[in-house]
Amino acid sequence: MSKIKSPLRYPGGKSRAIKQILPQIPVNIREYREPFFGGGSVFFAVKQLFGQQIKTYWINDLNYDLYCFWQYAQENIDLLVAKITEIKQKYDTGRELFQDLTREDLKLTDFEKAVRFFILNRITFSGTVDSGGYSQAAFTSRFTDSSIARLTQIAPLLASVKITNQDYEELLFAEGKEVFIFLDPPYYSATKSRLYGVRGNLHTSFDHQRFADNMRQCQAKWLITYDDCPEIRKLFDFAHIIEWNLQYGMNNYKQGAAASGRELMIKNYY
């Protein structure tokens, strides 16, 4: 049986890093938390590997539209799939669909925000949603009937999972036993890249010093993926740092192929 993967294309996502990340996760954990959930690639891999051994799962993201998507994927996936399918059948051209979904005068319900997020994730450059532009190639090859149908596979994995839209700090200091936290924050060297949120507001406003200070105080076991740069090495000089390389899935506009980048895995255990 093939593994179920995230239905989202996510800039900076960790789908290509699963084989490197999973061996770093402690075996004896009872609660899994992910404060910067994004596309959730690591969560889906962990859920299928550990299953019921982990008693509690808590996922979180500050992007409200993304939060709405995961909420409806959990609570009413059939309704979500039906509406997305209806919209796909209505539009012959992707650019018209993109323009309708990005009008500034839109007043949307949470359900409509969930629908909009998924569609824009499929038809924008590298899944950048509100931070990127329309991609005809993505509309043709990524927004397919099969990509919509695959949404139904994730609902069982989201069952009983706690889903929140809070500051990451809430997940660091909430009480729990044998807690493990996986964190994939906005990268330091890409702070000006505007990948997340409306015009990149969730990326450019991230406070790396505050984050490092919070992680120093966090008592749970944690693992962070970060870009390798002197500033991050200095901020986390109190933790165990592992170097590795990741093939990025997000191409630069001027690149013919995705770049390979130096990465860090930072953790507070051995």
pLDDT for residue 195: 54
User: Which residue bears the tokens 């969930």?
Assistant: 114
Residues 146, 26: Cα–Cα separation, whole Å: 35
Q: What kind and span of H or E run contains 180?
A: strand 179-183
* pLDDT tens-place string over residues 92-102: 999 999 999 99
pLDDT for residue 122: 94
The SS3 assignment for 39 reads: coil
Strands of 162-164's sheet in order across: 162-164, 56-60, 31-34, 179-183, 221-227, 260-267, 240-247
pLDDT for residue 158: 98
Q: What parts of the chain have a pLDDT lower than 50?
A: 200, 250-259
Residues 211, 266: Cα–Cα separation, whole Å: 13
pLDDT for residue 54: 98
The SS3 assignment for 57 reads: strand
* pLDDT tens-place string over residues 187-239: 998 765 555 555 545 556 899 999 999 999 999 999 999 999 999 999 999 99
The region, left, alpha or beta by phi > 0 then psi within -120 to 50, assigned to residue 129 is left
Domains and CATH numbers, the chain: 15-76+158-267 (3.40.50.150), 89-152 (no CATH)
